[in-house]
Each structure stands twice: as structure tokens, then as C-alpha cells.
Chains A and B, each alone.
Chain A
Amino acid sequence: MALKMVKGSIDRMFDKNLQDLVRGIRNHKEDEAKYISQCIDEIKQELKQDNIAVKANAVCKLTYLQMLGYDISWAAFNIIEVMSASKFTFKRIGYLAASQSFHEGTDVIMLTTNQIRKDLSSPSQYDTGVALTGLSCFVTPDLARDLANDIMTLMSHTKPYIRKKAVLIMYKVFLKYPESLRPAFPRLKEKLEDPDPGVQSAAVNVICELARRNPKNYLSLAPLFFKLMTSSTNNWVLIKIIKLFGALTPLEPRLGKKLIEPLTNLIHSVGAGRGAERAVFAVLISLSSGMPNHSASIQVRPARAGASPPLKYLGLLAMSKILKTHPKSVQSHKDLILQCLDDKDESIRLRALDLLYGMVSKKNLMEIVKKLMTHVDKAEGTTYRDELLTKIIDICSQSNYQYITNFEWYISILVELTRLEGTRHGHLIAAQMLDVAIRVKAIRKFAVSQMSSLLDSAHLLASSTQRNGICEVLYAAAWICGEFSEHLQEPHHTLEAMLRPKVTTLPGHIQAVYVQNVVKLYASILQQKEQAGEAEGAQAVTQLMVDRLPQFVQSADLEVQERASCILQLVKHIQKLQAKDVPVAEEVSALFAGELNPVAPKAQKKVPVPEGLDLDAWINEPLSDSESEDERPRAVFHEEEQRRPKHRPSEADEEELARRREARKQEQANNPFYIKSSPSPQKRYQDTPGVEHIPVVQIDLSVPLKVPGLPMSDQYVKLEEERRHQQKLEKDKRRKKRKEKEKKGKRRHGSLPTESDEDIAPAQQVDIVTEEMPENALPSDEDDKDPNDPYRALDIDLDKPLADSEKLPIQKHRNAETSKSPEKEDVPVAEKKSKKPKKKEKKHKEKGRDKEKKKEKEKKAADLDFWLSTTPPPAPAPAPVPSTEEAGVNPVTASKDECEDTKTEAQGEEDGAEGQEQDKKSPKPRKKKHKKEKEERTKGKKSKKQPPGSEEAAGEAAREPVQNGAPEEEPLPPESSYSLLAENSYIKMTCDVRGSLQEDSQVTVAIVLENRSNSVLKGMELSVLDSLNARMARPQGSSVHDGVPVPFQLPPGVSNEAQFVFTIQSVVTAQKLKGTLSFIAKNDEGATQEKLDFRLHFSCSSYLVTTPCYSDAFAKLLESGDLSMSSVKVDGIQLSFQNLLAKICFHHHFSVVERVDSCASMYSRSIQGHHVCLLVKKGENSVSVDGKCSDPTLLSNLLEEMKATLAKC
């Protein structure tokens, strides 16, 4: 053994290490490949040894060879061996090799799962770190699923080094295993506020990356990011956040407004100093945010003028962003942008091109395109030229040819573009030609003449070999000439051009189109000749066809061959008929009767599935196996026989054809599956005026143009200018006349404002036929989404609470992190098996969860609404009576339901205050943070409330007793709002009364005890003097005078909540209970016995429980007549009705049943089942509340309370 080790060591000594390998490769420049293959053999030997150091060395060398392009996947298993070495040195080499060479297809990757898990939980942070880094490169869905939970644990590791890596890698895990996103998200959110800046930036990074793809799910995080943005000092994080906001603003316009100020501040603070610096930063911000504010857009121009090329690039980039929002301000820089087209840097030129796309208008289109055309001529390098070409076409064809006023010009531009050599975009030009010719009817004549000259000029054919090359244009040319042959000047000439022998060198698909269209052309020539009575001419044409077609019959392309031979036979047949002097033109033309309508590419997809049609259902039940086998073939045969005669008479006479066509049309009309938005007008056989059905964009008429010869687009530009000038003059005249009529004195000459786009009339009458869509097409944009997009899977609603099934799979039995995690309610990480709730329970739970989900969602929306509302928020729902004597009760239960109906700002306010904390659900940590956050928030609130002119808010703020701690601002779950009960130097008590529907006549009083001293408070006891009406529930066996012990102690600065249950006899009146809290305060000096008196106030509202009610039930209730009525009126109310309702909902636990203008009906129910109905009407300055209730006393007490609340508004 020892000897073996010695031998290993010696071998080891003579192994090459990485440096030797590199040196060797450098020394063998001539036979590098040979040398390397020799090395690989050596490495294979080394990998066979037991010594891990040797293996590691070998793997290290392999990593180098991988970089040089050698496949090292064969060593995957050895890499795993090295990964599992105990020494960090080797481990690191192993993971590096794995990260370079492993991928989803590596089969041994599944062997790594346990090794990685072991490393993740290693005590050495660098082992963990190396594993995380490696994993980030080769994580597979399986690994992600198995390790997600381990990584999540690491997110709360003590070392920030591990935390940041764990946070970052979560993004990779989400991508591979989207199910993990929801359970992990709360913790990720938590990491946004990590004390370590590295971890924070990692969390920001991950969320930004997530939000970039699916921004809407992250809208609720906006307030948090806003806070980060204003507080962060890390520029990297700052830019990321700004970018994130850039993605969010389109979804929430109010956000943009809110951001203007901080962004402007940023620009000024960071770029303080020279103007150029500020400009750069402004560019940067507008770029990232995508919502340039005014100052940013002003700064951009200097930045662009600045000569530094990267700056120019950025300036252009920023401009393209600004263009979307402020097109005007960019258009003024047209000169600069056009200059950039001459830049020697291709990146800058491409950017400038992009910008031009957005800048064109009817007015400047021709000019810009002309400029681009000159660039096309100058451009060297096909990539840029191709880019120019596509841009020209894009610019012209954008939004349905919106900016083209003269289509003749466009066609000639297209024709000019065909003279480009070596372009790859022939098919693009061809598609444009076809599109324009089909959709713009007025242009057909011109287009046909152009196309025929194209067919005629052979220069295109020279370089016809390249696929997608310019010869594609001939495809379009041939088709247009054939289809619209009636417009041809010299059809015979064109026919000959199309039958030239050279044509056979064209690609097959183009030849096929040629063959087909030759016949169309032939048909129309026949027609002409016969009408003119030139029988000989007609025969000559036929002869030409018979002579020339065989060259196509010999084609290698199947399609061409088939068409050609078919047509050749047809023509020969016609020739025979012609010899007998039979008129044939009519019949031949019939072959091509009918017009083609453009159909939108999406049309087929948009056909709605008719109601009651289930496409997945069997039309006939699938045949069962038992059926005898011989029957089936016979049936098929039988059917075929029936069918065949139907198909046979293909040469039926015209009448028959027409009749059948009619019948089919009928059938189609009745067939819901047939796309038939507009009936295609059959030229000859029906004159049904179907044309009206085609949606047509009418553009008014003006002087039609005729350009002699082969038109150059430049001529059009000139002509167009003249035309416009004339138009302008005419208009001027008219205007002058009018003005003279209207105002004799004031005359304005010459200095007319520049023409707006609308003033420019198009040169021709053009009908741009819109593409057909099926009737009642579904207006959905869903088809724009790519179903294969990996980020689609991450489009997950993060606001929903977690379901049990969503928890992450874990391997271990115990999970250390469960106890620590504050969101454990959200992340149920317990083992699945341990939870086997009975079905009923489960159902019940789910119901509850559903409800919660709903509420939660609404709450979130409200949060954001509140946060975004720039108007000063209405009084943040003060406690009913903030003073001590009445402070006993602030009953707010289940206020969430109201927000369902109202979603008012006031409600938003409540939730907003609490919303930021809502991820911290578990009560204990929340209580601890309580005070601090409260203070922070009050500060924040104050500053928010200060906007000038918001007297209301200011007044409210002033009225708020500060020492009261503004109970409504307390960061508690939304179903509670605590009011001050009593306080002294030791302790502060706030409480909340909640009625419960489940237990009749009981209310729960939740009291939050907060230790304000530096002594420990213990032995706390709460004693309340019972009244006849209200009794405290005490532990069994204790007398009425005993206190109820508080089940916890309070260390200094800590707060906690205790709950006490009271039984109420009658809920119709409000009442107060006297009580005392006694406790022992213990500090270093000693212990003292202290007590604090308080008065618990049960208002009538606190007995009400928010219950939703439907309007029909509500109406029934009112009709039933067993409700007594009472009303109250309050004057001097400035509050908006919306806020008013919210207040009533919030403080008195009502829900809105129906709301019409400034009138609303509301409903609530007491814990003893009294119905309370309200009708709230708002007058000019007053509010009247009419109430109906099954108990008159309750009603009058309630109305009194309500009056008190409203009076404070």
C-alpha cells in the first residue's frame, strides 16, 4: 500500500500540470492537434489512477482543452469524482470543469444531486460557494426541483457571501423549476432589505430580471422599490431599480408621475458639475426608465451633439425611447439623425435607422426614403445595405401604408430596389409588390406596366442563382402580370418575355408561377383577339404556347413539370377547337374567373369556435374492437363508389358550373366554418355586388399622375412637391378669402404654420383594402405570445397565498429553517405525509383559503392604489374617539370585505399603511418591529401629507394626537385597527374589539401590550369589573373578582398581544367597562408592583360584523316591513362621497350594497343577528343617513356613533 502511494507520488511528479500543457501546446505550433491528442491520451491514463490529486490535475487540463474547442464530455464521470473530493482545491477544479462542460443532456448529472446537497450544507462557506457557482451554470429542472429547498435555506445563511450567491442562483432555479417561484418569493422579497449591500443588490437583480418578463406581477412591489431607490447608495442597484420602474410604468401610469421628482433629483445630484456629465446621466436614466421626463429630453441633444461615439450611440438609444412618448421633440432633431446615417460606425448607423422608422410622417416620408436610397447606393457591405432595404420597406409599409400618399412612387421605389445586387431580401420586395398590387386597386394598372417591364428586362436574370435573391421579385412580377392581365398594354410582348428559354434557369417555384400565369395571360389575349375577330392572331398565340411550353415540361422541378404538361394538353385541345373555328376564349377565361381578396394572416386562427361545438369530441364513437373486421373495408369501398361519379364530370357545361358555384356559395354562406367575411365577387358568373362588403379605406382624390417612361422615384418627389405646393396655394387662397370675409383688418400673410399631415391629400384615389378577417373574429392578442418562451412559465401571480400543494419538495425530515422563517405560514415546509387532514377539514380550509386569496388580492390592489394616489390621502381613518375616555374600543373587524365593494382611497390608506408589512405575517417579529416602523411611517406620512393645498390632510394631521401613536397607522394585519387603551411610563396598551359570527354574543378584545421601560414586566394580570350586560370569560373556577393572567412576560422594548373574550347580553347599547392591569416591573435595582387603570369601550359598531349582502336580498329585507326606521343628518361635510362610504365601512363595519351617484345603500349585521340597513345620501354640504334596523335602540345608538364619526370629517 505504502509502495503504491510512493509510486503514485512519483508518477505524479512526472505528470504535466496545466502550465506544462500550455507550454507544450505553445511549443508545438506546427502539430498542435497531434500534440493535444497525445496529451488527451495521457490525461486518460491519469484519470484511471486512484490518486485524487492526479485526477484533479487531469481535469484541470481538460478544462483548458475544452476552451480550445475539444469535447470533454467523455470525462463527465471523472469530473464528478473530482467534485466530490474533500479538499477545496480539488472540489473547485471539479466544479469549474462541470460548469464549463455539463448541460441538460449530460446523463451523469443526476449523480451529482446528493454531492451538491452535501456541499451546500458544508460548514465551510467556500465549499458551499463553489457548489453554488457551479450549480448556477448547469442547473437542470431535476436539480432545481431537488435542491430548491436547500438553496432557499441558504438564503438566510449567516454569511452574506453565501446569502448573495443563494439569492442570485434562485433566478436560475425559477427558470428551470417555475413552481418554486411562489414559495420562495416572500423570502426573496425579504432579502431586498438585507443589511448586506451585496445581498440586497443580488435580490434586486433577481427581481428585476423576473419583472422584466412579467412586470404586472411585481407591481405591488413598487412602494418597496421606491423606498430602495431613494435610500440606496449603490449606483448599480439604482440603475437596476430605475430600469424596473421602466418596465412597470406602462402598466401603471400614475407611477410615472410619482417618479419624476426623485429621478430629476437623481439627475441633479449625480451629475452635479459639468453639463455633459449631467447629460450623460440623464440619457442613462431616460434610457433605463423608458419614461423620459422633460429635463431628460432636453439634455439629450447636447449629449448627441457631443462627438464621442459611444455617447452618440447612447443618445440615439435614448432618443428612440423618447420618441415613443414625445415624438415632437425628437422630430426636431431630424437633421442630426440623418447625419448619423453617414457615421462610419455601423452601430450608430443602425440606431439612427431605427429612429427614422418612428419619425416618418406623410410629409417627410418621401424625403427620408430618398435620403435612404442614396445611402443604399453608397453603402458598402451587404449587411448594412440589407438592413437599409428592410428599413425602407418597414418604414413605408408601417401601419398599413399609413404614410404613403402616392403609391406609384412606392412601386417605383420597389422597382429601384430590385436593382440592388446580392441582396438577400428579394422575397421581401416581392411580398410588398404583391401586397400593394392586390390591396390598392387604383395602382394595378401602373403596377402591371412596371412589372411587365421588369419581366422584360433580363438584367435580373443574370444573378438568379442565389436563394431569396432578387430574382424572387420575378415571382411577384409574373403573378401580377398574369392576374391583372387586363391592364397590360402589350400582353403579347409580355407573354413572349415570359416564355423565353432563359426563364428555365430560374428557381423552380418561380417557374411554376410563370407557367400558371402564362396561361392567364394567354386567356386574356385570346379574349381580346376573339373580340376583335382576329382568329389568326389567336391561333398564332396558341401556336406560340404549344411551341414554348415543352421547355417547362422538361423541367426538373416536379411542380413546374406537372403544371406545364397539364397546361400543354389544355392548349393543344384549344388548338384543335380553334382549328374548327369554335370560339374558346370565353371558356378559357372561365378558368381564372373570380378575384382574390387579401386575407389576414391571422384570419384562420381568429375564427371563433361556435357555441356548442366541441372540437375534441368524437364525431362518431370510435369503433369498438369487437366489430367484425371484414365489414369495414367494404364500407369504405361502398362509400368510394358513391363518391366517384360525383367527381367525374369535370368538363361539365358552363351553366352547370355556374349553378354548382351558386350552390356552393349557398352552402358556404350557411356553413359556419367557412371564412366568408366578404363574398368573393365572381367576375363573370355573378354580378353580385359583394364589393361593398370589403372594408375599404377611402383616401380622397386629387390630381392623378402620369410619369412617362420608366419612372424614377425622384421625379415623384418633385412632382409631389409641386402638387403639394399647389394644394397649399389653393388652400391659402381659400383661407385668405375666408379671412378677408371674417376679419378685414387682420391679415396674416405667408407665415402660415407648417402643414399638418392631414392637409396632404394623396395623389391618387386609392382603396387600401384591409385584410379580411372572419366575422366576429376574436379580438385577442394572445397569439403574439410565443408559447415556447421560457419566461412564460414564470408568469405567476405572486400575490396569491400558497397552497399546500405548492410547497417545495424536500428530502429531509426536519427542516431547521421552519422555525426561523417568519413567513412560515406562507411556506408550509412540513412533510406532506404528516399532514393528512380529513376531507371535510380540507374542504373547509380551502374555502377559507379561497376567501383569503381574494381578500389578499384586493388588499394589494388597494395598497398600490393608495401608494400611487398623488392626491393627499383622506384622513387616515382615525380611531373612533382617540381620547382616553372613549379609546376603549376601536372595533374594526374584517374590514376587507368592504374594500371589495368600494376600493376607496380611504380603504387603500388603511391597507397601504399595513401593506408594507404584510409579508411579515407571524405575530412575534411583527410586534418587535412595531414601534420602529411606526415611527418611520409616521414620518413618511407626514411628509407625504404636506403637499400644498391639502388643507384637509394637514388639518387631519394636526388633529391627530401624536402620542396616540395613530392607531390606524399601525402595521397590523388589515382586519384590525388598534386604539389606545391606556398608557403610563411602563406600558402602553392598545386594543381592538372584534365580534365573531361563529360564537353568538361574544366579542374578542385583543390587547397589545408594549413595554416602554427598561425593566422586564412580568406577572401581568388583567382584571375587569363585569357589568350586567358584559362579562369577561375567565378560566374555570376563578371568581368574578380575580384577574385573568396575561400569558407572557415582556422584556424591555417588546410588545405582544393578549386576547380576552367577553360575553355580551345585549348588543343594543354601547357600554364601558372599568379595568386594571397589574404587573411587576423588574430591573437591576429591584422589582416594583405597578398598575394601570383603563376603560374598555364597547361601541354599538363593534358588535357589527361586516356581512356582504346582495341587492335583491337587501330589497326583500326592506320590503319585509319589520324593521324600524330612524335617520340622522350631518352638515358641513367636505369629504368626497367615496371616502365617506369608506369611512362608514371601516369604522362601522358596513358593506356597500349598491351605489348610485351620490347615494348608496349599505348593510351590516350584529353578532346577535340584527339586520342593519342604511341609505346614505350626500347633498351639497351635508350627508343624511336613513337607517332601518330590527332593533330601534341599536339603530339610534349606531346612528349617533356614525354622526360622531362623520362630524369629524
Chain B
Amino acid sequence: MIQAILVFNNHGKPRLVRFYQRFPEEIQQQIVRETFHLVLKRDDNICNFLEGGSLIGGSDYKLIYRHYATLYFVFCVDSSESELGILDLIQVHLPVVFFTAPKVFVETLDKCFENVCELDLIFHMDKVHYILQEVVMGGMVLETNMNEIVAQIEAQNRLEKSEGGLSAAPARAVSAVKNINLPEIPRNINIGDLNIKVPNLSQFV
């Protein structure tokens, strides 16, 4: 079982925190911090296995991590999932196409966000979660085939679009307006002006 999946940046800011075992929020943050410090002091060229983060569990658990650009992807797994890391490793050395959860996760992110960068994760945490849900479910690896994962995610995105989405065009427009930083303007608009737009708005309700 995978106990937790953490993504944080080079400064230890959490970008994704997914625990498959209940910890109170403070403890979660503490674990993130501790893991960050453990990972940070390791060179990039030493092995990406780490034993015994004290908070998350006993000797049965390992941390398997990868460092991509500004982000650390950390999987905390017990011995039954240690293959995750092993396979990961093999992929580096073998031409044989092996699956690895961290890698598939990152590559799927890459595909869905088109060249994923930290900013994507920052602003679309919910989407990252939805992608992760197609790879790992309840702490167990759900799907190993990337095409399948991407297909399912796209299908769900289409479904969301057909429903109008949560933050479709107008909301974006508004946030654009807000970015111009003209707090007065919206208040000055009288109802009469807005009435023109109302029919459009109703579809987002």
C-alpha cells in the first residue's frame, strides 16, 4: 500500500498532499516538513530510496522520491509496493518499457498540462488530484497504462465542459477584470447594463 504521496517544491512548499491514512492536519504538515528535510539533504546522485521517516511508520516503510526540476515527488510505501521504486529504477536502465507509478504520474501530468511546470500544480491542485485519482486509488495502484489514464481524464474533462464547468468563461472574465485592479468599476455597473448579460449567466448557475 502507498501511505502517502507528497509533492513539494525546493523550498518545502506543499503542492500536493495526499494521505491514504488519516493524520490530523498539523501532523500532515509536520510530516511534509520532516520529509522535505530528509530529502533535501540528499544529493541528487545517490539512490532515491530512503528508510524510516519517523512519523509515517516503522521500518516497513520506505520513501521513494524523484526530483524533477523544482519539485520533489515523494511516495511513502510499505514493503509490498517497493516495486514502485524498483521498477522506476529499471526504467532508467532498461529499454524495456516498465511502469512506475511516480513516473506515470509525472508523465500524465505532463501530457495533461502540456509541459507541466510548478505553476500548473500551484493553480490547478484540483486537476492534479483528479489525475492522481486515475493512477492511484485508496493507496493502491489503479492503472498502469498511460494511454488509458489520459483517455479517462480527457473523457471526464469533456463531461465537465458539457456541464458548463465550475469556472467557465464569465468567471475567468471577471477574474481578468479583477486583475486589472479596478475595484470601483464593478460596483458602478448598474443592473441595467448587466441585464443584457443575464441570459448568458443563467447557464452557469
Could you list which residues of chain A lie within 8 angstroms of chain B, going by C-beta atoms? 5-6, 8-10, 12-14, 16-20, 22-23, 26, 51, 53, 56-57, 60, 63-64, 66-71, 87-90, 92-93, 96, 100, 103-104, 124, 126, 132-133, 136-137, 139, 161, 164-165, 168-169, 171-172, 197-198, 201-202, 205-206, 208-209, 212, 234-236, 239-240, 243, 270-271, 273, 276-277, 280-281, 284, 287-288, 308-314, 344-345, 347-348, 350
Contact = CB atoms under 8 A, between A and B. Distances in A.
A14 B175 CA distance: 8
Contact of A104 (B22, B46, B47): B22
Closest 4 CB pairs of A and B: A136-B138, A310-B47, A103-B22, A69-B29
Most buried by B among A6, A13, A56, A137: A13
Contact of A19 (B46, B93, B175): B175
Contacts of A100: 18
B130 interface: yes
B41 to A, nearest CB: 9
Given A136-B137, A209-B80, A277-B93, A92 B171 contact: no
A89 B90 contact: no
A88 B156 CA distance: 9
Secondary structure at the A interface, as helix, strand, loop or mixed, is helix
Interface in B5-47: 14, 16-18, 20, 22, 24-26, 28-29, 42-43, 45-47
A68 B130 CA distance: 18
Contacts of B94: 271, 277, 280-281
Given A6-B198, A205-B141, A236-B99, A87 B163 contact: yes
Interface in B151-166: 152, 155-156, 159-160, 163-166
Given A92-B156, A284-B90, 8 more contacts: A53-B205, A57-B167, A93-B166, A168-B142, A172-B138, A201-B141, A202-B140, A347-B46
Interface in B92-122: 93-96, 98-99, 122
Contacts of A63: 125-126, 129
B47 A312 contact: yes
Contacts of A68: 14
A103 B101 CA distance: 25
25 contacts: A14-B186, A16-B175, A17-B166, A17-B175, A18-B125, A53-B204, A53-B205, A63-B129, A64-B125, A67-B14, A69-B28, A88-B156, A96-B130, A133-B133, A136-B138, A137-B138, A165-B142, A168-B138, A198-B142, A212-B80, A271-B94, A280-B93, A310-B89, A311-B93, A345-B42
Interface size class of chain B, counting residues whose CB lies under 8 Å from the partner chain = 35 or more
B99 to A, nearest CB: 5
Nearest to B100: A236
A14 B201 CA distance: 13
Most buried by A among B43, B80, B170: B80
B195 to A, nearest CB: 8
B155 A126 contact: yes
A234 B144 contact: yes
Contacts of B129: 63, 96
Contacts of B50: 347
Contact of A20 (B22, B89, B178, B202): B178
Contacts of B16: 67
A67 B17 contact: yes
Contact of B45 (A67, A126, A202, A309): A309
Interface in B122-147: 122-126, 129-130, 133, 137-145
Contacts of A236: 83, 87, 98-99, 141, 144
B196 interface: no
Interface of B: 1, 14, 16-18, 20, 22, 24-26, 28-29, 42-43, 45-51, 80, 83, 86-87, 89-90, 93-96, 98-99, 122-126, 129-130, 133, 137-145, 148, 152, 155-156, 159-160, 163-167, 170-171, 174-175, 178, 186, 194, 198, 201-202, 204-205
A70 B17 CA distance: 12
A1038 to B, nearest CB: 61
Contacts of A209: 1, 80, 140
A13 B171 contact: yes
B25 A66 contact: yes
Contacts of A14: 174, 178, 186
A12 B204 contact: yes
A520 to B, nearest CB: 40
Nearest to B129: A96
Contacts of A20: 175, 178
A281 B90 contact: yes
Nearest to A350: B51
Nearest to A101: B25
A51 B83 contact: no
A90 B95 CA distance: 42
A182 B130 CA distance: 32
A790 to B, nearest CB: 11
Nearest to B17: A67
A235 B87 contact: yes
Contacts of B125: 18, 22, 63-64, 67
A5 B186 contact: no
A133 B159 contact: no
B88 to A, nearest CB: 9
Given A17-B171, A93-B166, A71 B51 contact: no
Contacts of A202: 140, 142
A5 B20 contact: no
A205 B166 contact: no
Given A9-B205, A57-B167, A235-B98, A88 B159 contact: yes
Contacts of B22: 103-104
A51 B141 CA distance: 36
A56 B166 contact: yes
Most buried by A among B1, B49, B99: B49
Contacts of B159: 88, 124, 126
Contact of B89 (A70, A201, A311, A345): A311
A171 B155 CA distance: 27
Nearest to B62: A347
A288 B194 contact: no
B205 A5 contact: yes
Nearest to B50: A347
Contacts of B186: 13-14
A829 B71 CA distance: 50
A345 B25 contact: no
Given A235-B98, A270-B96, A280-B94, A96 B137 contact: no
A313 B175 contact: no
Contact of A347 (B49, B90, B139): B49
A271 B98 CA distance: 12
Nearest to A13: B174
Contact of B49 (A19, A26, A310): A310
Given A18-B123, A235-B96, A309 B46 contact: yes
B79 to A, nearest CB: 8
Contact of B160 (A88, A271, A311): A88
Contact of B83 (A137, A172, A243): A243
B135 to A, nearest CB: 11
Nearest to B79: A212
Nearest to A19: B123
Contacts of B18: 100
Given A51-B205, A276-B93, A287 B166 contact: no
Contacts of A87: 163
Contact of B137 (A18, A133, A312): A133
A197 B145 CA distance: 10
B142 A239 contact: no
B52 to A, nearest CB: 8
B107 to A, nearest CB: 15
Contacts of B205: 5, 8-9, 12, 51, 53
Nearest to A313: B47
Contacts of B156: 88, 92, 126
A161 B125 CA distance: 24
A171 B140 contact: yes
